[in-house]
Amino acid sequence: MKDEGQLNSEITRNLKAVQQRIAETCTRCGRDPGTVRLVSVTKTMSAETVRLAIQAGAVLFGENYIQEAREKCGTLAEYPVFWHFIGHLQTNKAKYAVKLFDLIHTVDSLRLATELDREARKIGKVQKILIQVNIGKEVSKSGIDAESAETLIRSLAAFPHLLVRGLMVIPPFFDEPERVRPYFRGLRELRDSLNKPGISGIRLDELSMGMTGDFEAAIEEGATLVRIGTAIFGERQ
């Protein structure tokens, strides 16, 4: 076990390095670094570890599991940080999700959206969401087909307690970031093609894409939210 001081300096150093790589990538491709937000992915990490990241300056966290997030958000309620949901969301967990999360990245069905709208209404909230798109049409991956995304988003425009802010993708795993790039580009092109004619009441600004192994390519392709765990917290158990 590492002691807390060791872990603290490691997280601080890693976080700075990731922030710097994000800034350098932006400079290299002519983007304003203010347009890319870092989502520190804390699944499996303890509340104490998250606390160290908060003290090191992280303000936005991504969680994958509702129960785990409920515990951590409770423990860390005193901190003015934001929580995003990036895991697969079951419909019966929608009521917890709307209470905890500023943004839910993984909406991929009308059924889930309907439940989120209903639960958000109960607590008087407009829930911000992203639509998770299955760009590569892989079997067994969640996410809606690119062709069906427009229909879904058009239906969601009528939901008073949901606000669609953009798109999200989890590409298949490749060792080389260059092989993932087409998925990032595909997501950006889809967003742009949906924004062009426009859908009344909806403007898709966010692109949630890029993780530890490929976030630089994602930023070059237009990512506005990069979801990074390992590069900050080390390998998960």
Ligand X SMILES: *Cc1c(COP(=O)(O)O)cnc(C)c1O
Q: Which residues pair with 149 in a beta bridge?
A: none
Q: What are phi and psi of 213, to 5 degrees?
A: -80, -15
Q: Which of 50, 52, 66, 86 binds ligand X (CB under 6 A)?
A: 86
Residue 69 beta carbon to ligand X: minimum distance, rounded to whole angstroms? 13
The window from 3-11, 29-37, 52-60, 206-214 that contacts ligand X (CB under 6 A) reads 206-214
The window from 152-160, 172-180, 193-201, 223-231 that contacts ligand X (CB under 6 A) reads 223-231
Q: Which of 15, 38, 41, 162 binds ligand X (CB under 6 A)?
A: 41
**How far, in Å, CA of 38 to CA of 189, rounded?**
22
| Whether 237 contacts 44, CB under 8 Å | yes
Q: Which residues contact 179 (CB under 8 A, 6 or more apart)?
A: none
| Whether 151 contacts 131, CB under 8 Å | no
| Whether 62 contacts 84, CB under 8 Å | yes
If one asks whether residue 167 binds ligand X (CB under 6 A), the answer comes out as: no
If one asks whether residue 229 binds ligand X (CB under 6 A), the answer comes out as: yes
Q: Which residues pair with 80 in a beta bridge?
A: none
**How far, in Å, CA of 84 to CA of 143, rounded?**
17
**How far, in Å, CA of 228 to CA of 42, rounded?**
9
If one asks whether residue 20 binds ligand X (CB under 6 A), the answer comes out as: no
Q: Which residues pair with 167 in a beta bridge?
A: 131, 207
Residue 39 beta carbon to ligand X: minimum distance, rounded to whole angstroms? 8
Residue 233 beta carbon to ligand X: minimum distance, rounded to whole angstroms? 8
The window from 28-36, 65-73, 189-197, 224-232 that contacts ligand X (CB under 6 A) reads 224-232
Q: Which of 14, 40, 64, 224 binds ligand X (CB under 6 A)?
A: 64
| Whether 105 contacts 63, CB under 8 Å | no
Q: How many positions of this chain bind ligand X (CB under 6 A)?
A: 13
Q: Which amino acid is at 6?
A: Q
The window from 52-60, 75-83, 116-124, 211-219 that contacts ligand X (CB under 6 A) reads 211-219
Residue 43 beta carbon to ligand X: minimum distance, rounded to whole angstroms? 6
Residue 154 beta carbon to ligand X: minimum distance, rounded to whole angstroms? 25
The window from 27-35, 172-180, 184-192, 207-215 that contacts ligand X (CB under 6 A) reads 207-215
| Whether 166 contacts 209, CB under 8 Å | no
Q: Which residues bind ligand X (CB under 6 A)?
A: 41, 43, 64, 86, 170, 211-213, 227-231
